[in-house]
Chains A and B, each alone.
Chain A
Amino acid sequence: MPALGTFALLLGLALAVYSLVAGTLALLRVHEHADRLGETARRAGIGVFLAVSVAMLALITATYQNDFSVAYIFHHSNRALPLIYKFSALWSGQEGSLLFWAFLLSAYGFVLRARHKVDVRLVAHASVILAAVQVFFLLLLNLAANPFAMMVGNLPADGNGLNPLLQYPEMVIHPPMLYLGYVGFTVPFAFALGALIMRYPGEKWIHITRRWTMVTWLFLSCGIILGMHWAYSVLGWGGYWGWDPVESASFFPWLTGTAFLHSVMMQEKRGMMKVWNVWLIFCTFLLCIFGTLLTRSGIVSSVHAFAQSSIGSWFFAFLGLVIAVCLFFFFKNYDHLKSENKLESLVSRESSFLFNNLLFLAACFTVLWGTLFPVLSEWVTDHKITVGPPFFNRVMIPVALLLLLLTGVGPLLAWRSTSLESLKRNFTWPALGGLAVALLLVLFGMRPWHELSVFYAWTAIALGMMVTLTILSEFWRGARVIASHTGSGLAAAVVQLTRRNTRRYGGYLVHFGIVLIFLGIAGAAFNQEKEQEMGFGDRMTLGPYTLVCRSYTQSENYGSGSPQGADQPNYSSESAIVDVYRGGRPIATMYPERRFYTASEQTATMVANHSTLAEDLYLVYAGRNQDTERPIIRAHLNPLVAWIWIGFFVVLFGTLVALVPPLPASKLAPARAPASGQRRAAPVEVGD
């Protein structure tokens, strides 16, 4: 298997180089049979997918065969590792994750090249750019981070095992989602650069890449949320986001990608912001690469980072090259990016997008700045400092709240210009609703003037209500128009309204999901925590809950994939059985656990979480008192956390709705015949 994998990687590199060189020559028309040459380049690009797939399958097979002659498998797997985690060992280390990255890139490339008829010349340009990125990753895999490198000396009987933090079901899904997001932004980048190079007329490239961008954004969002859920469920510190550099690395491209998804609408609708959009997508791709560099180079310290290695210099060189190419073609074809229209009013949808973009980029800059400031500080002052959660929370929350405000205001503004009268008419009720909620919260005991975190939570909830009312009013008014045209009920009209303009109303659903996520995050201002040693029958009170330790125990787990009679377990564990009472009534039994993984000699926390819509009761087995042998239980009471995960599902649903093509005009419900003497304009047909 290692030999097959090594050969497949070399073949993949050769095919990618051919695809790049032949594709470029075909585009430059230096060969008399340029079209045929271009076709061979396209097929070579498809061949890269096959070659890299074989390499990846070879590594997976070798992992399942416990082939510890391969250094990567020795370092990231062991015999007792459950079968499912043997698969996820693929992306748990530097070399394997780069192979997985190259595989996803080649899979995206396969789809792009297979669908070349959508616009042969534009796809040919994008294909060449994609091939250049593939060459970089395959060079890296062949020369600097080979996943099939062999062990030196005697063959080990067993491997080091997988990092225990990664032995969790979400870890089988979270990295692939994140990588699908990171890698996926290569496609819109390739199309944007390709369109710039060939001075592509019109905005068709945006229509072609719209779904690519949205799907990629969705994958990245899924990856980030799954990562948050994993951190919450596994790391056992009671939170879901710690502003760790590796977490932040996934946030950079998400912020610029979200800005792009908004501002690109201005280019589609009004032919504006072309320079801005091109640079937004360039920056998003560059930030994906930069995030990878941060994770793998050891520039910043992080608990999640891969082992430090020399591949940082490869990434620096690649980043420099990409920036140079982007700048060259940008200045060369700058005149092609002139706006077709100008902004007509400060109070318009266009300017709301401008401010939205400003806030997203300010947020991105802030996270980037905070992440890199320790490096800068050490360089300037020779003193190492930490930039941790207090810094990020303080500077990011106001920006996030302004974004939430814009989420409510933006949809109320019309394209080109909105009169203040119209704004007042649409904005009054949502604003009053937000104010009413703010007052109610104070009446029910919230004191926003006591603490800054409570003030932020109070503002977020009030703004969330305003945004929700804005969204509801948009649905209600649109549905009312349809209901009056077709005579259908309001619910049916809402469905038809959404199907007529899936992108707009799907977008509103995404906004609503974001409101729910903000609500969940706002709950953190009221977190409570308690730690106590708990022997048999001991009690702890936290908020409305009483916890009683029924028992505590120790056990060993040999793993389902381990051979019969294996001499050592996958892990041994200590756990407590805790009965939970509320108002004197038993409501749950919880099992906080701590595991010690034998092969890697590392520990992992298995959090017990009793989650309701109002709050999470979150128990951590914090350790054992060495003198009394009794467990120490840390209990967290985290309000509203469930809304973060619910909000994510709404975002997911909204994005899927936005991806569905709108209902063709021929399938729209027929308009009810107007009453005699009454003239009504037929509804304008929709396009997205």
Chain B
Amino acid sequence: MSSAKSMMRKRKLKEFAGSLRRNKMAMTGTIILTIFILVAIFGPIVVPFSTLDFGDAEDMMQPPSSEHLLGTDDMGRDVLANLMSGARISLLCGFLATIISMVIGTIIGIASGYFGKAIDNVLMRFTDFFLVIPWLPLMMVLAAILGTSIWNIIFVIGITSWAGTARVVRAQTLSVKERQFVERTVSIGAGNIHIMIRHVLPNVFPLIFANTVLIAAVAITSETTLSFLGLGDTTRASWGMMLHYAFESGAASSGAWWYYLPPGLCVVLVVLSFALMGYAFDEIMNPKLKER
């Protein structure tokens, strides 16, 4: 029986992978992201330079060469090495901030939709506050107060980006809680927590998932922005930090394209891959959007 079960599971995974493969957008997004993840994991091991290999005066701001594939920065460090360890920080930041945002958004959304009335009102006004407040100044203030460590950046992005998720989850919860199986579960004596976790959550999960992928893109952009503005973790090389130093050292005006272009392109590509995947997941999981 268990083999039948695992076979079923395999079949479903295959179906999911199949519809992913048929969907060109999702395929492109997945490939780009996979490359970046692999680079983030193995890149710094493969590249022979560390981000702390400061060069001598003659090594500074050197254009790409066979030794330094992407040239060097204003402190004589290898740009490629920085770029790869930047991928680690940016992706880590994106994933963790997204998880925080997803958890907060889901809890507030489900609680708000499920309990309704006063709780809904209070939670939704709270959500509206986060939704309308200009997030960049808020992030900057929070980052400045909390100090510039990567964990603070993750935390700040996490707690400022959940409002959209909460709204969407609440809307779906409102619809799910009126379904008859919830009434049935109440009648057998299940508590609110039980119903929310066992019945409502699995039914809103596809939505959360699709939404989450899009938030990951926002999180990575936010990290880059904060770092570029000098509110990032100065001890770690992230893409935002690289752009920050490139800007400060006047790389753009001195024509050192190898310094500012790669991190910029990386940010764009990663954000694009998340966006592509997000829309594609939405399409796969929401049959109404499926092309026939």
Q: Do A and B come from one complex?
A: no
Using a CB–CB cutoff of 8 Å, the interface residues on chain B facing chain A are: none
